[in-house]
């Protein structure tokens, strides 16, 4: 496979970092996106094998910044073949249960979560397609099992990921004639710095027990699925949503 130009959003840490490493290990050139972790992003670029990697920055809730970031990635990489929409927020601003939330708190939680998780990803898709439309490409969205099982403590998060799935499937149909495949992975808990507090003590034991393996995913396991979806052999998986939750939530 020839070297491809790959943009990974939210790539400076956690799952995004693992995804960036996976693509670079396969010989691809990677644009490492971050919002406010410039040092971590620069460190990752230095660690990645191969040449031609770049750092790009944007707040995913800022539409003009997202478009400029995608264009900067394409300029720095010499094109754009793959977009991985990994950036997202969970519980920021702090989630408040519906029965306890004030109206302003409730509205702000939903607005900000959708601005980043859905609208930011949608805007990145639009901008990426402008670079892919002549030669095809791949878009992989990182969703969540919460899109299917419900998130009573994080309703805006679960709804944003369900909407992301619907967006990906609509784009899979719309973009197939251009040779652009669009698919999603839906992980459960992954052992990252974002989930570290949730995995401590008694709550962590309960979370691990949700899977018959009695553990949560490692970032590399989910990154492997993302990488496969970007391969030429995975074109027929366009529109698919691949569950990566260790049988902690099963759907038919």
Sheet holding 137-142: strands in order across?
54-57, 29-34, 5-8, 82-85, 137-142, 180-187, 241-244
Asked if 81 and 137 touch (Cβ cutoff 8 Å), the reply is yes
> To which residue do tokens 């529109």 refer?
239
* The pLDDT value given to residue 1: 64
Task: Count CB neighbours of 137 within 10 A.
Answer: 25
Structure tokens at 245: 């939750």
Q: Tell me if 82 sits within 8 A of 6, measured CB to CB.
A: yes
Q: How many helices (H) does the chain have, and how many strands (E)?
A: 9, 7
Q: Catalytic one among 90, 103, 157, 249? A: 157
Q: What pLDDT is recorded for position 62?
A: 98
pLDDT at site 94: 81
Per-residue pLDDT of the chain (252 residues; tens, 9 = 90+): 689 999 999 999 999 999 999 999 999 999 999 999 999 999 999 999 999 999 999 999 999 999 999 999 999 999 999 999 999 999 877 878 889 999 999 999 999 999 999 999 999 999 999 999 999 999 999 999 999 999 998 999 999 999 999 999 999 999 999 999 999 999 999 998 777 777 887 889 999 999 999 999 999 999 999 999 999 999 999 999 999 999 999 999
Note if 157 is an active site residue.
Answer: yes
In this predicted structure, what is the pLDDT of residue 197?
76
Containing H/E element for 232? none
Q: What is the pLDDT of residue 198?
A: 75
136 Rama sector, left if φ>0, alpha if ψ -120 to 50, beta otherwise: left
């Amino acid at each position: 496979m020839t070297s491809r130009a790959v943009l990974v959003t939210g790539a400076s840490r956690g799952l995004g970092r693992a995804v960036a490493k996976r693509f670079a290990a396969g010989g691809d050139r990677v644009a490492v996106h971050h919002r406010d972790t410039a040092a971590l992003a620069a460190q990752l670029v230095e660690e990645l094998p191969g040449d031609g990697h770049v750092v790009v920055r944007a707040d995913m809730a800022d539409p003009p910044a997202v478009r400029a970031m995608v264009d900067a990635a394409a300029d720095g990489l010499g094109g754009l073949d793959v977009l991985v929409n990994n950036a997202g927020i969970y519980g920021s601003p702090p989630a408040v249960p519906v029965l306890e939330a004030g109206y302003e708190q409730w509205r702000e939680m939903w607005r900000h979560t959708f601005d980043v998780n859905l609208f930011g990803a949608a805007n990145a898709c639009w901008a990426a397609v402008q670079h892919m439309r002549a030669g095809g490409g791949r878009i992989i969205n990182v969703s969540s099992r919460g899109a299917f099982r419900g998130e009573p403590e994080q309703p805006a998060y679960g709804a944003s990921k369900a909407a992301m799935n619907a967006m990906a499937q609509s784009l899979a149909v719309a973009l197939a004639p251009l040779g652009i495949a669009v698919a999603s992975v839906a992980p459960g808990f992954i052992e990252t710095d974002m989930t570290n507090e949730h995995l401590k003590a008694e709550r962590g034991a309960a979370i691990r027990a949700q899977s018959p393996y009695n553990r949560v995913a490692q970032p590399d396991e989910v990154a492997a699925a993302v990488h496969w979806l970007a391969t030429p052999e995975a074109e027929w998986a366009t529109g698919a949503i691949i569950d990566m939750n260790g049988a902690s939530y099963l759907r038919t």
